Amino acid sequence: MKLTAVVGARPNFVKIAPVLAALAQYPDVRTTLVHTGQHYDSNMSGGFFTELEIPRPDINLGVGSGSNALQTANIMLQLAPLFAADSPDLVLVVGDVNSTLAAALVAAKTGIPVAHVESGLRSFDRTMPEEVNRILTDSISDYCFTTEAAGNENLAHEGVPAGRIHFVGNVMIDTLVRFRERASRSTVMDDLGVTAGAYAVLTLHRPGNVDDPETLAGLLAGIHVVQRDVPVIFPVHPRTRQQLQRLGVVASRELRLIEPLGYLDFMQLMSGAACVMTDSGGIQEETTVLGVPCLTLRCNTERPVTISVGTNRLVGLDASAIAAAWNDIRDGRWPHGRIPELWDGRAAERIAKVIVR
């Protein structure tokens, strides 16, 4: 069996690592790994391949940055001849980035079955490019691998036949389980001069939060209440860096702007945090498993289990909601959360079994 896996952006790498490792257990499966090059800086891409022991991509398309349309189109133009020449039996995509949709579209139109890992998640907010990527990718996928019950329900509601839906668990958590011990040896807290429980972590990169200077400035004002009590460590995504420079935001003792961290350092930093404030999807899941309070700086989430079972709360962009959440954390009124069903480190094994069968 010939399988081609396509990845492009930082969260994809965390998700594909366990799937490739699980598929490697089956000698009859020949896997080709294509990196679209959507992310290309070493701290957004290469470093993750090394740390997570992902095989070197067989092909890197080097598409780089650009508008949603340009990025998606460039990936499609380059993948079409590749798929035509190699005729894989299955194309596997993960997550919800532009590379995910581009690869799924080309495969479907070439008549190649598509497997989508992390299928069925919906924020019901089509202003997010990811939501459009999710809906379209799922609608042309033959294998929909889901992480939580809401994913199964969303797909069923959209008319996806039950036979295509496979509830397997969460591959991002497979990676966390596998590397947690290694991450615990990271010296990141010492390096930053912080102690466990006495700092917060912030990440921001959604276009809806960072592209408009007024929105971003409002968000930063909202987290002041946390900064007053503990230093906030802010590894800055490249998209956000440009906007912070424009706003004239500079690093301070209270708001520590640092470069994006590698996987192991970031896991360890989150593990010791009093809370994590984020607009990322994956971080809502990781904090749930780490048992760390998560304040999601968005009005919706496509990962509702992190709220119903885990440690996540939606605070939107609202300063008073952030302040109320921070009070609850300091007063010990935050749920410890439980581990969602099948987030047990074995999702990729289940995926590989389905694919091989």
Instruction: Tell me how far apart the alpha carbons of residues 126 and 253 are, in angstroms, rounded to a whole number.
Output: 37
Contacting residue, 26, 29, 32, 40, with ligand UD1 by CB under 6 A: 40
Q: Considering the candidates 205, 224, 237, 336, report the single residue annotated as catalytic.
A: 205
Min dist CB 10 to ligand UD1, Å, is 4
Min dist CB 353 to ligand UD1, Å, is 28
Yes or no: say if 111 and 117 are a contact pair by the CB < 8 Å rule: no
35 binds ligand UD1 (CB under 6 A): no
x/- map, 98-127, ligand UD1, by CB under 6 A: x-----------------------------
Contacting residue, 218, 238, 291, 335, with ligand UD1 by CB under 6 A: 238
Position 180: which residue type? R
Contacting residue, 3, 4, 5, 11, with ligand UD1 by CB under 6 A: 11
Query: Which of positions 166-185 make contact with ligand UD1 (CB under 6 A)?
Result: none
Min dist CB 88 to ligand UD1, Å, is 22
Instruction: Please work out the total of residues on this chain that contact ligand UD1, with binding judged by CB under 6 A.
Output: 20
**CB nearer ligand UD1, residue 10 or residue 298:** 10
**CB nearer ligand UD1, residue 39 or residue 116:** 39
**CB nearer ligand UD1, residue 113 or residue 207:** 207
Min dist CB 349 to ligand UD1, Å, is 26
**CB nearer ligand UD1, residue 242 or residue 320:** 242
Contacting residue, 164, 178, 180, 239, with ligand UD1 by CB under 6 A: 239
53 binds ligand UD1 (CB under 6 A): no
Min dist CB 323 to ligand UD1, Å, is 27
Min dist CB 52 to ligand UD1, Å, is 15
- Can 336 be counted among the known catalytic residues? no
**CB nearer ligand UD1, residue 31 or residue 98:** 98
Contacting residue, 116, 205, 256, 350, with ligand UD1 by CB under 6 A: 205
**CB nearer ligand UD1, residue 208 or residue 335:** 208
137 binds ligand UD1 (CB under 6 A): no
Instruction: Tell me how far apart the alpha carbons of residues 175 and 13 are, in angstroms, rounded to a whole number.
Output: 10
- Burial code of 189-216, b = ≥16 C-beta within 10 A, e = fewer? beebebeeeebbbbbbbbeebbeeeeeb
245 binds ligand UD1 (CB under 6 A): no
Secondary structure in 3-state letters for the chain: CEEEEEECCHHHHHHHHHHHHHHCCCCCCEEEEEECCCCCCCCCCHHHHHHCCCCCCCEECCCCCCCHHHHHHHHHHHHHHHHHHHCCCEEEEECCCHHHHHHHHHHHHHCCCEEEEEECCCCCCCCCHHHHHHHHHHHCCCEEEECCHHHHHHHHHCCCCHHHEEECCCHHHHHHHHHHHHHCCCCHHHHHCCCCCCCEEEECCCHHHHCCHHHHHHHHHHCHHHHCCCCEEEECCHHHHHHHHHHCCCCCCCEEEECCCCHHHHHHHHHCCCEEEECCCHHHHHHHHHCCCEEECCCCCCCCHHHHCCCEEECCCCHHHHHHHHHHHHCCCCCCCCCCCCCCCCHHHHHHHHHHC
Q: Is 27 exposed, middle or buried (0-12, 13-18, 19+ CB in 10 A)?
A: exposed
x/- map, 59-88, ligand UD1, by CB under 6 A: ------x--x--------------------
Min dist CB 55 to ligand UD1, Å, is 20
57 binds ligand UD1 (CB under 6 A): no
Rounded to 10 degrees, what is the CA torsion of 67, 73, 74, 80?
Answer: 160
List residues with catalytic annotation: 205
Q: Where does this chain bind ligand UD1 (CB under 6 A)?
A: 9-11, 38-41, 44-45, 65, 68, 96-98, 129-130, 205, 237-239
